[in-house]
Structure 1
Amino acid sequence: MADLNRDDRGQIILIAAFALAVTFVALALIVNSAIFTENLASRGETAGSDDALAMRAMVETNAGYALDDANRYNYSTDSVRDEAITFAVNNTSMQTEQQQAMTGTLVNVSYRPGDPGANVDGRRIAQNSSTGDDFTSTSGSANYVVAEDVTRSGIAGENATRAFVINASEIDGSNNATSFEIEVRDDSLAASGNTNTWQMHIWNPTGDVVRVVVVKNDGGSVTREACEVTKKHSFVRIDVTGGTVAAEPCDALGITSSGENMHFAAGAPDGPIEDYKIRFKNATAMHGNYSMVVRGSSLLNTNVDEGALGITPGDPYWTDAYYEITVEYSYDTPNLRYVTDIRVAPGEPDA
């Protein structure tokens, strides 16, 4: 080993100390960058962060449109559905980047169907009548299970049914006893029990008035909430998971003024990852059409036809679908870099 004098050794120590300092600064920058990326949603003081979050919301909305269209029109196989979503997401990415390029902002959105967690399987259930058919099963039953083994993810705030919309052309029931009912219950519960259930009743008490009553039985604690809306057209649109009736907010389908969660399936089942089933009761009292997307449903029953082709008009049917997808979003400016995954599940209420 070379014999180093005191000055040489001092210089080496200084160089080593400087290298360590640079390393620590770099590590601090990396950590701070990661923390900033994770917490951008709660910070608005950084230049451009509001724009990044606004663009994020726009991307999520457009990706939701892509998902819904693929589920409805490109349902034959997963690969066909993936191709349709990828094309639409890439188109969104190109348009947003072109719009932002003049401001020095780079925006990129990508959907990678082969990545773990990029999509979650589900089923789309629909009845597409345009002639006012009722909501009975394929065999004409008025009381039946529409979907079973609907599986919650177990993640707080996530449901397992989304985009459940009814377009009612006629409502025959005139009171609670004769109303059309949607019931959600734990898969393990007998049909006669009401504990851990969510029940929605819809009827027409008079004239053009539509009344909605929801009863939630959460472990024996019962909450009842109602709303009434006067329909403005020949039909009324009831967004069951979106919480509106004729485009007006309905407390019976959302968060009440007292903070009670009445969203679809709230309180049923009693566990965050328990399976539940969806039942229709007195389905002859409701006419029009409906559709919904459910997560992980096996639909092992003959009440709903398999496939959309060759079915009897007015009969309910199901097709394979994605309940949710994940897209990667990045937003870059000279002063800001924001990269995150966006979970896309349009029309999903709180759990």
Structure 2
Amino acid sequence: MLGDRPASERGQLLVITALVLAVVLVGLALVLNSAIYTENLSTRQSTDSVGVTTAIGTGEAEIERAIHHVNRHNNSSNPKVNRAFDDAIRDLNNDTNDEYAKRGTSYRFQVTDRTNGTHLKHTNSSKSFVSGGSNSGQGDWLLAGSVPHLRDYRMTVQPRYLYTGSDLTIDILMNNAFRVNMTGEDQSGSEVTWEVYVYENDTGDVVVVGANETELLSEDTIEDLTTFEDGCRAVTSSDDEDVTLDFTNGTVSGQSCSGLAFQDHFEGPISIRYENADDNETLAESRSGGTYELAIGTTDYEDQHFHNATEDQSPYATHIIYSARVESHYARADITHSRTMRLYPGIETYVG
């Protein structure tokens, strides 16, 4: 028994026991500190990642705003808009570098590629959607062919400008109502055309009918089309009420309309054409009128059909930076991050 041992042995046992306890306590402290450090490091890395992503996202948003600014204020020629964009990116890069350098951080971005494009607009709401430029007044005309990218395509119409009909047959619709044609190749390489018709029915509503041309020709009446839905009909209270057709979001007056969902039917560039935009000798009223705008990712538009913006006439064309590919690099002592993004203002309607 411990009480029967000499005092020297009992002292040694107490010392050994104390040492063992000390080692255990030190071990527990190391384990606990390690766990706390690991948790702090994990939290810090997570916070840092969010911070880096936020920083780069903020820079990319600034670049998109720069594209929008030069497209609006420096759009009279392709060289001018490109010079203005280069100047804006240089100034933005310098300001960003200086700001982050004060925090001991390196943040820079580089435009590695860009797509020049064209903004096509019709702003005279009292004029029908006929062609302008040197070939003015055409009711059937091509806006642009071989369009690889399209964004922010919107149109407003008023009932008083549209062809009015009831119990329409397909033939009457095709021969009289204003329409937008998108033509290109489908996934099999066959040429297809998506047709969007806009007219006023006998109750004063604006109706949109959109379908593949083959499907359209296979039906006898408009109501037989599977793409014709209530969402493609806008109830109006007067002939002067604006109705918005949003080809980008596929809506009519904010309601989903499958007749505008042309995107999935094509693979590659498309052409955009207007038909029946003008009056003819058998109609007592116009067939189109209002406003429209679209940005295309090409400079190869039909310029003979558009005025210059300085002529203050519709329709007109301006030169834009459609999109830019940007590499962003962020680095500091404990973290680095890079990414490449294709940037543009607005919402893309179609990518071929």
Any residues of structure 2 matched to 1:116-265 within 5 Å, and which?
Answer: 118-129=113-124, 131-138=125-132, 139-150=136-147, 152=148, 160-170=149-159, 171-174=161-164, 177=173, 178-186=176-184, 195-205=191-201, 209-216=205-212, 224=227, 226=229, 227-228=231-232, 229-230=234-235, 234-253=241-260, 262-264=261-263
Superposed CA RMSD = 4.1
| Separation of aligned partners in 2, 1:106 and 1:280 | 53
Could you tell me whether the CA contact under 8 Å between 1:96 and 1:107 is conserved in 2?
no
1:324 aligned counterpart, secondary structure: strand
| Separation of aligned partners in 1, 2:303 and 2:79 | 26
Could you tell me whether the CA contact under 8 Å between 1:92 and 1:109 is conserved in 2?
no
Structure with max Cα Rg:
2
| Separation of aligned partners in 2, 1:97 and 1:231 | 53
Tell me the alpha carbon deviations over residues 225-248 of structure 1, each in whole angstroms, 9 at most, x when there is no partner: 543344699323332223333344
Taking a change above 3 Å as real, the CA distance of residues 83 and 303 of structure 1, as seen in their structure-2 partners, is: closer
Taking a change above 3 Å as real, the CA distance of residues 145 and 78 of structure 1, as seen in their structure-2 partners, is: closer
Could you tell me whether the CA contact under 8 Å between 1:185 and 1:276 is conserved in 2?
yes
Any residues of structure 2 matched to 1:260-339 within 5 Å, and which?
Answer: 262-264=261-263, 266-268=264-266, 271-272=267-268, 275-284=269-278, 285-300=287-302, 302-305=304-307, 307-310=308-311, 313-314=313-314, 316-332=315-331, 336-339=335-338
Taking a change above 3 Å as real, the CA distance of residues 166 and 72 of structure 1, as seen in their structure-2 partners, is: farther
| Separation of aligned partners in 1, 2:106 and 2:163 | 51
Letter in 1 for 2:67: L
Any residues of structure 2 matched to 1:14-29 within 5 Å, and which?
Answer: none
Greater fraction helix: 2
Q: Counterpart in 2 of 1:11?
A: none
Any residues of structure 2 matched to 1:100-119 within 5 Å, and which?
Answer: 108=107, 110=109, 112=111, 115=112, 118-119=113-114
User: How far has the Cα of 1:132 moved from its partner?
Assistant: 1.9
User: How far has the Cα of 1:183 moved from its partner?
Assistant: 0.5
Which is further off, 85-94 or 284-293? 85-94
**Matched pairs, number:** 271
- For structure 1, the residue ranges without an aligned partner over 5 or more in a row are 1-44, 153-159, 188-193, 254-261
Could you tell me whether the CA contact under 8 Å between 2:328 and 2:339 is conserved in 1?
yes
What TM-score comes out, normalization by structure 1 length?
0.61
Taking a change above 3 Å as real, the CA distance of residues 216 and 101 of structure 1, as seen in their structure-2 partners, is: farther
What TM-score comes out, normalization by structure 2 length?
0.61
Letter in 2 for 1:304: F
Taking a change above 3 Å as real, the CA distance of residues 349 and 54 of structure 1, as seen in their structure-2 partners, is: farther
